[in-house]
């Protein structure tokens, strides 16, 4: 049988590129709705008595959200 060759994905070096973390925090801070959807907003957190909003749910798969976020970071 033939061996399957696996390609190793390049690692993202956050330590050497601190501006990426800055971009991440800035984007999530500027886009709270995206942030809530990305981190799966809970119904308990979204109770109308607490802050008058409904639960945020993403229409796209997490991979699509990560792709959008990557565009803003890199």
List CB contacts of 36: < 8 A, sequence separation 6 or more.
Answer: 56
For the chain, the domains span 18-43+55-73
Inform me whether the pLDDT recorded for 69 exceeds 90: yes
Q: Indicate the pTM of the whole model.
A: 0.61
pLDDT band at 70, cuts 50/70/90? very high
Give the end-to-end CA distance of the chain in Å, rounded to a whole number. 40
Spatial contact of 24 and 74, defined as CB atoms under 8 Å apart: no
**pLDDT tens per residue across span 4-60:** 888 888 888 999 999 999 999 999 999 998 988 888 756 565 555 556 656 555 566
User: What does the block give as tokens for 12?
Assistant: 């993202």
* Rounded CA separation 65/38 (Å): 7
- Tell me, what's the pLDDT at 30? 97
- Tell me, what's the pLDDT at 72? 92
């Amino acid at each position: 049988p033939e061996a399957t060759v696996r390609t190793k994905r390049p690692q993202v070096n956050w330590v050497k590129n601190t501006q990426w973390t800055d971009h991440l925090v800035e984007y999530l801070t500027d886009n709270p709705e995206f942030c809530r959807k990305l981190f799966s907003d809970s119904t308990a957190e979204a109770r109308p008595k607490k802050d008058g909003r409904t639960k945020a749910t993403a229409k796209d798969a997490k991979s699509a959200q990560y792709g959008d976020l990557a565009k803003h970071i890199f």
